[in-house]
Structure 1
Amino acid sequence: MIPADETFDRTWPYPPHFTEAAGFRQHYVDEGPRDGGGAVVFLHGEPTWGYLWRHLIGPLSRERRVIVPDHMGFGKSATPADRTYLAGEHIDNLEALLVDVLDLHDITLVMHDWGGPIGTGFALRHPGRIARVFATNTVLPLGLPGYDKLMAENFADSHWFRWASAAHANGTLEQTLGGAGSSVTHLMLALQTITRPQHITPTWVRAYAAHFTDRAACQGVLRFPQQLVAPDPDVTPAPPDLDAVAALRAKPAVLVEGMRDTALLPRYVIPAFQLAYPDAPVIELADTGHFPSEDAPETLLALLHLFLQTT
């Protein structure tokens, strides 16, 4: 767990907030006006934390309330030893924060990577609290026909998932991800793709590696891919409520897609999004990889501003 007061050479100037509502010490950022008519909630994925959104938090919070949680096992949140770290558990944690602690309504979900499934799971439980959906290089599992086929094709084709599957088969997945403090830059730069490597400074590396101090601190970063390459046959997610799916599909939505992503491939992610939102805009960023907020933060911020203003 990263120390609460760590700013990484002032690149992360946001005061920390903590809650134990979900049974562990969870960190979140809470910036901006409380009477701004709803909140923008940023959800990170693998192997990042709230630092992923650092360029967007400050400008956006001048006008709107901004909430940025760190998932269990990432960033400044704790890594309890007695948890499964399955997606459903992360959804429970998000629900405890957004509903029980903050009681948020009129939420704009901004989701990246595993933030998409986690945010979608929360939204299906509370569609009335969701105002709009902003997806970037992620997927939104709503149980629609054709989605599983697209995800299976991505799994077979993706550089990241082919590596994870092979590493699981030969026994090196836990070794590599259990040492994420040393391997996180390679995971992000090579297996998921960052197209502006000049941004990878010593401070940047330290920020993304800092949580993963030892094997015990790497449960979160390991379990995300592990539950896909080695799913528990006894864990079968319940199908989503059809009324909740319909309510969520009626919300304004947009996909901003970094087209050089080598983890979630655009040729599968875009049609998967369009299954749910056939009339919603899809904005392709040609020279951006898996992390648009790293490769093109100014563009992503402008698109988010536009989306908020026009919906």
Structure 2
Amino acid sequence: MESEGGDAAYISHAHSDHASYGKKAEKIICSEETAVLIGSSKERLNLENAKLLDAGHMLGSTQLSAQVEGGKFVYTGDFKLEAGITTKGAEMPKECDYLLIEGTYGEPGAVFPKREEVFAQMQKWVMQNKEKTIVFGAYETGKAQEMIGFLNKYCGVAPVVSKKIDDVCKIYGKFGVKLERVRAGTHEAEEMCMGGGFTAVLPVREANEGLCRKLSGVYGKEALCALATGWGYKRSFSAGKVFCLSDHADFNGIIEYVNGANPKKIYCTHGNEKTLARELRARGFDAAPLVKKEEGGVQTTLEMAPKGVAVQCSAQCGQR
């Protein structure tokens, strides 16, 4: 949610498509974890008429719940109801009047297996291929740490990780999330790679069949690549193996959340917003897609005035 006319912006979590909205603001509204992850030294506001709720998406991810003119407003940000290895599940708000909800997987076909089922599938695959080189591709902040946590807990493996992923893991550690891994480029990492089969977690853009061929040639072991993403339910990827694991709520999770919040008015944003709004209307809710102005969508402005500080947050669609 970006600052528009005010001097502060709400940042739901540390992914760049959300955190970038805070660059122009003088002050930010976010969790301590998010502020550290994005490297911000800006003043963090504590609002008298608003509070932050766990969102379950990644370390420090939050929802915004605020009392505004006309009732209670909740913005979910990216959220997930199921608990993960590195996060709790999202906190379900008690009834609200206005709900701004993300719709990344807001279409009926976007239904995921239970998280524990996917962990079991990944564990079986890793153990079956433990003598080979295994590379998991993951976004460097959030998903990579969840994958490292999975490998630690379910496979007893401390993977080799890129320098950026390791830097983020250090921040996770400062907030009590301990992750065992080996930083790429170190003597320990080189020994692991030369000693036989090893497992790595690397940026998603690097995990592909081309990398696997290079690793096989260098280390003399067959190399396998895998991704863990919610988009596994419908898309194909260059990685050899895809597991349907997401840090977002699936369609059923979104519907469960809306039923629990029971809002009077719903705005849908961040992907599949038109489909989600239509599905919610079919279930008896007053819902509308929140899309860019040039696409003919609606725009909502939330005004809050804590201790004389005017804050206007305009919610728009960002990159997914």
Between Structure 1 and Structure 2, whose CA radius of gyration is higher?
2
Task: Indicate the TM-score class for this superposition, using the shorter chain for normalisation.
Answer: 0.3 to 0.5
Q: Which has the higher strand share?
A: 2
Q: TM-score, normalised by structure 1?
A: 0.34
Q: Which has the higher helix share?
A: 1
Q: TM-score, normalised by structure 2?
A: 0.34
